[in-house]
Amino acid sequence: MVVPWPEAIAHCDADSFFLSCELARRPELKGKPAVVVGKLGSCVLAKSHDLKIQGIQTAMPIWEVKKRFPNVICLQADFAWYNHLSAKMFAILSNWTPDVEVYSVDEAFLDLKGLRRLYKMDYGQIAYAIKEDIKRQLGLTVSVGVSVSRTLAKMAGEVNKPDGVTVISAQELSSWLPKFSLGDVPGFGRNTVALLEKCGLKTCHDFVQLSEDKVRSLLHKPGLQLWKELRGQKVFSVEPAFAPQQMITRTSSFQPLTADQDFLWAHTVRQLERAVDALRDNEQRTQEVALYLRDRAFHHSGWSHRLPSSTNTFSDCLEALKQIWRRHFPAGKVFRSTGVTFFRLSQDLGQQFSLFENPGLFLRQDQLEQAKRIIKNRYGQLAIRSASSLRLSQLGPNVKKSLRAKAFNVEW
DNA sequence: TCTGGGGTCCTAGGACCC
DNA sequence: TCTGGGGTCCTAGGACCC
């Protein structure tokens, strides 16, 4: 006998989230072709549904969008505002069920199991009611998918966008699977799809017909988990618990590309500052600092440095970064972006001093960091910066090279 | 006319130990 | 000096996600 609803997982995804957030506070732009962009001259972060239908994709360069739609309105991204609305959306979801897992800024998984009796509705009706609740309170539309596993719930949510609800029950599974291509599965990227197609597979129905051993030998553990989820077997639970972050990365690209070591160092130190800010915001410490460089062909190189003990001060991290730079920086090579990553993160429980360490020094460094934080909060992120990264503002890559060589010497 | 800025998880292979 | 088999830890890198 088939159990009608062994599990009930919903996936809730805001439609064109960044753009919808902008429209929520600028309703006069509704219906006009608009995109949200990162830095000026960069790429698309969000687009209206109409533009999406006409082929505008996320990460598309702005020049390409403007070429096709000269009247397009480009809105600068305001992540603080998006985070604010995002938190409100998750709060609304939490009123419906305590089991909400925040998956990204605009997406969440909900465990709806057992709620039919409470709300006197079936799962599809509950999903619809949640969707309408968010629309009424925030003016944002969301798409909701409901099914027996996370993977199927997420795929269901894609079927009816925007502002739609789609339910894939266990009984209807066999009629749904032939409609999904392999690329529709979250977790199957380009490479996996190519491999499966070489095996003669076309749809999700074909994939679930493979034997367990065959899937394991082709795709290892991750593929096998998805195989089970697509067959209606729950593998991944909804995990409302907060998981501590495993790594912190801050990177940024620049134009034009450059091999100028002064500029690259200043740019990298700027990323280090941002990463330290994030570290302290998270109340975490790091024990491994890494440098990342991305070259013209988008290949990246990275080197890391282990610290003897964990830290959350800018000066410790800068020392580590200097060591990496001295040892590994490939002089003369042209790069397009640089970045810094912290690994081996731990919760900040306060400093533990060894016999030979100087608590006074630590306290002064900590006070310095706190003072920097206060200034940044009051006057903006660029109000106080390390001298090394200050060169950045003076020495945009457009400055003539000779000028640069004269004016700035990196003294580390 | 290539292409942003974040993240997670998994595997393979080497070093080292018993 | 040569012989097994098994475990853990670490690192590098791939694949994928929003």
Higher pLDDT, A350 or A84: A84
DSSP letter string, A238-287: P--SPPPPS-EEEEEEEEEEE--HHHHHHHHHHHHHHHHHHHHHTTEEEE
A287 has pLDDT over 70: yes
Give the per-residue pLDDT at A313: 93
Distance A303 CA to C3 C1' (A): 39
Q: Where are the domains of chain A?
A: 248-410
Chain Cα centroid distance, residue A327? 31
| Mean pLDDT of all residues in A11-19 | 94
- The tens digit of pLDDT for each residue in A366-388 reads 777 777 777 766 666 666 666 66
- In this complex, the answer to whether residue A399 has its CB under 7 A from any atom of chain C, a nucleic strand, is no
Distance in Å, residue A216 CA to nucleotide C4 C1': 29
pLDDT at A381: 62
Q: How far is the CA of A356 from the C1' of B4 (A)?
A: 44
Q: Which nucleotide's C1' sits nearest to the alpha carbon of A43?
A: B4
How many Å from the CA of A217 to C1' of C6? Answer: 24
Whole-number pLDDT of residue A409: 32
A63 contact to strand B (CB, 7 A limit): yes
Please state whether strand C lies within 7 Å of residue A186 at its CB atom.
yes
Is A158 considered catalytic here? no
The torsion defined by the Cα of A396, A402, A408 and A410, in degrees rounded to 10, comes to 100
Q: Is A15 helix (H, G, I), strand (E, B) or coil?
A: coil
Q: A107, A132, A212, A229: which is the annotated catalytic residue?
A: A107
Q: Which nucleotides of C are covered by protein (CB under 7 A)?
A: 11-18
Tally of residues, chain A: 412
> What is the C-alpha to C-alpha distance for residues A292 and A339, in angstroms, rounded to an integer?
5
What is the CATH number assigned to the segment(s) A248-410? 3.30.1490.100
